[in-house]
Amino acid sequence: MTAVAPPHPTSLRQRLSAAPIGAHLAACSIAPRTSEVDRALARMLDDLARPGFWQACEQQIDRARELFARLVGADIDQIAILPNASVAAYQVATSRHWQRRREILTTYAEFPGIAHVWMAHKGLRVRWCGSPSGAVHPDDYLSQITDRTALVSVPAVTYRDSVRLDVRRITDAAHAAGAAVIVDAYQAAGVMPLDVDAMRCDYLVAGTGKYLLGLPGIAFLYVRQPGGTPPTLTGWFGRTAPHALQATVLDSPPHARRFETGTPAAAAVYAAVAGLSLVGGFDLRQVRSHTQRLIAVTTRRLTDQGEMVRVASNLDAQGAHLALVEPHAEAMSAWLGHRRVVTAPRNGVLRLAMHAYTTDEDIDAACEAIAAYRHQTRHPQPRSSR
């Protein structure tokens, strides 16, 4: 299918089921409801009421795998479906041979759900690059890749500050030193083009609960060369012939489904197909251009309002959200939410995420609400006494 330009943001925004609540600027944390997902969940309930539900569900699983493979330029046999990124990281860790090389290089800006898997793997040494504050640059990786490095773990876009790393540059350096690379693309998939061959990564993980406009509960693991040692966590979906249901046979197929475990969450699978079908119709280069423009506009507006915003000096090194520095981000987010501006607080910042559906009016509403919050907190209204 040839990708087409996304609809005008205003018309696309009408497909958000929760559009009346106001501006949804939290896709870096949770996708908004869409009419496509609503219909998919209704279809799941209809299928559940008929004979043959599991056959219908497995058709959705196959379709989700196909759509994600197409999105990242992979073959379907290179894609495994798992419940989340932590399980995906565990599968990678337990399927590799850790012999002379026993070091994993990651960054302080890594999402904890992945970093903790590396730290918990016995016998491995985790090395950290970048600043403990979360700042990271490709050069931080390049300076620490050595002949002891076995695996390099790279977020395509960091979850807090939205730093977009040059994955190809890091991958080339890692491969030159004999190390493999895993990319966490959770904060990139759906809002910018991704091509696993262009990145040359060995593994890539992304999920549908954020910019891919689905639900939490489904993650995809791309594996460039799926053969070799199977992971130690497994299940009936990881067998060569799952429906043979042979309890005494522990085999593994030659493709990436050897990384799978048990039955995926059905609702998340149906929603994944809906979200991936919607995103798959976008020209992600245009989505990327749209979000970069909105990031620039929002940064300028907030800076003029006296806010401190963490953004890259070069927009090409910025993801699809910006981070407004706020020590009480949860309280600020709750206040804004009551005023129909949905944001995503995280670790001392308030994240504002852009997507194809984000409009200039959404940015106006967010900036005005943030200004109102500052005024309210600086000049609280006295409580009336009775």
Question: Residues 348, 265: one domain?
Answer: no
In a domain, 3, yes or no: no
Q: What is the pLDDT of residue 4?
A: 42
**pLDDT tens digits, one per residue of 58-69:** 999 999 999 999
pLDDT in tens, 178-219: 999 999 999 999 999 999 999 999 999 999 999 999 999 999
- Examine the domain organization and report whether 111 and 234 are in the same domain: yes
208 and 273 together in one domain: yes
On whether both 319 and 243 belong to a single domain, the answer is no
Asked whether residue 122 falls in the same domain as residue 267, the answer is yes
Assess whether pLDDT exceeds 90 at residue 275: yes
Judgement on whether residues 27 and 136 belong to the same structural domain of the protein: no
Mean pLDDT, residues 79-104: 95
Structural domain containing residue 146: 38-280
Residue 76 has pLDDT above 50, yes or no: yes
The answer on 337 and 268 residing in a single domain is no
Q: How many residues does the chain have?
A: 386
280, 297, 327: which is the final residue of a domain? 280
Instruction: Evaluate whether residue 212 is within a structural domain.
Output: yes
Is the domain of 264 the same as that of 337?
no
In a domain, 385, yes or no: no
Answer with the one of 280, 295, 318 that is the final residue of a domain: 280
pLDDT of residue 385: 46
Q: Is residue 355 part of a domain?
A: yes
Asked whether the predicted pLDDT for residue 282 surpasses 50, the reply is yes
**Do residues 14 and 71 both lie within one domain?**
no
For residue 204, being part of any structural domain is answered with yes
Q: What's the pLDDT tens digit per position in 173-188?
A: 999 999 999 999 999 9
Residue that terminates a domain, selected from 280, 310, 334: 280
Q: How confident is the model at residue 13 (pLDDT cuts 50, 70, 90)?
A: confident
195 and 292 co-located in one domain: no
pLDDT at 386 over 90: no
pLDDT single digits (tens) 352-364:
999 999 999 999 9
The count of domains in the chain is 2
Same domain membership, residue 178 and residue 126: yes
> Is 0.85 topped by the overall pTM?
yes
Average pLDDT over the chain, rounded to an integer: 93
pLDDT at 59: 97
The CATH number assigned to the domain holding 98 equals 3.40.640.10
CATH code for the domain in which residue 303 is found = 3.90.1150.10
Residue 4 lies in a domain: no
Mean pLDDT of 314-318: 93
Evaluate whether residue 384 is within a structural domain: no
314 and 189 share one domain:
no
Does position 89 have pLDDT exceeding 70, yes or no? Answer: yes
